[in-house]
Structure 1
Amino acid sequence: MPSTLALYRRLAGKPMGRWLFSRLVCFKAPYFGSIRPRIAQLEPGCCKATLRDRRAVRNHIGTVHAIAMCNLAELAGGLMVDASLPPSMRWIPKGMTVEYLRKAHGTLEATATPEIPVAAADSGYELPVAVAVRDTSDEIVFRARITMWLAPRAARAAR
């Protein structure tokens, strides 16, 4: 099975490739499908994902809902970590702190980057991931810091 990054690289340059990749991510993790994200860029150390402002992601005051932005941040952060990790490691989100800075309107773009280098290790460690969400005027409307737990994959039992 190809890695997430290998699949993205294979599809991204093709017509509808990023759309298809985004749909496949949502098939693998169905909850993210609720925000209909689009993966705009994926490489080791960076993921950019967008969220289109539409009625289904708005709150009662007509702005993009806070939790929709949390979902976008977690998706971008998780994909960035997945694309950055060596195959001997695995990850899971451990916690997230967020700041809502402005009312969010229009298409939003989340950019996720690691706060420290991602590396293989003999034991588990925490990786802080910074995610900034910008609106169409390039203003940061939301910021998140996601703590990811990285650990070596368990050795497979002999068959």
Structure 2
Amino acid sequence: MPKRNRLALAASLIQRLPHPMHEPLLSRLFGSQVHFAGTAQVRIQRMSQHEVRMSLTNRRRVQNHIKGIHAAAMALLAESASGCVVGMNLPDDKLPLIRTLKVDYLKRAQGNLHATATLSDAQRQAMQEQDRGQVVVEVTILDESHEQPIRCEMHWAWIKR
């Protein structure tokens, strides 16, 4: 039986509400806990224990000098999506920690960005059963042309609180 996880419980309660309320409430919940993501207005489209989907709109607040999404904002989106899916699976008595954030910038991003972070069943089970451990979270970032402007590798760890 899974251990208590307040983030997963809150997401579950929000997802019982009418569908149009999901994105704004999930995004507000996440932004209240991860202030930098809230400042950048990272949006959550889907939040489950297997997958988290987020987006970032290309607007002045997150733009670079050529009017594209800034490299740091792209990394923020990848870290946010991967951290959120980890957070959805770790019991409340464990603390998630980013260990390595590797981002290769492949091409200039076109427009808005969408991130999808996933965990396997084996990864989810390890988070439930082990007091400490590590996981590489798969996260894909796509721009409006459905291309990958960046390739990411996110290494997360957890320890007992």
Does the CA contact (< 8 Å) of 1:39 and 1:48 recur in 2? yes
SS at match of 2:123: coil
SS at match of 2:68: coil
Question: Where does residue 11 of structure 1 map in the other structure?
Answer: 14
Does the CA contact (< 8 Å) of 1:130 and 1:143 recur in 2? no
What amino acid is the match of 1:150?
Answer: W
Work out the percentage of aligned pairs sharing the same amino acid: 29
Match of 1:38 among 43, 50, 53: 43
Question: Where does residue 157 of structure 1 map in the other structure?
Answer: none
Q: TM-score, normalised by structure 1?
A: 0.85
Task: Give the aligned length.
Answer: 153
Match of 1:20 among 25, 28, 46: 25
| Separation of aligned partners in 2, 1:99 and 1:46 | 22
RMSD: 2.1
Q: CA deviation at 1:68?
A: 0.4
SS at match of 2:52: strand
Question: Where does residue 104 of structure 1 map in the other structure?
Answer: 109
What amino acid is the match of 1:5?
Answer: A
What amino acid is the match of 1:80?
Answer: V
Structure 1 residues 84-108: Cα deviation after superposition (integer angstroms, max 9, x where no partner)? 2344533111121001112112221
| Separation of aligned partners in 1, 2:14 and 2:130 | 33
What amino acid is the match of 2:11?
Answer: Y
Does the CA contact (< 8 Å) of 2:5 and 2:88 recur in 1? no
Indicate yes or no: 2:146 matched with 1:138: yes
| Separation of aligned partners in 2, 1:105 and 1:122 | 41
Could you say which structure has the higher helix fraction?
A: 2
| Separation of aligned partners in 2, 1:16 and 1:122 | 35
Q: TM-score, normalised by structure 2?
A: 0.84
Question: Where does residue 100 of structure 2 map in the other structure?
Answer: 95
| Separation of aligned partners in 2, 1:86 and 1:79 | 13
SS at match of 1:144: strand
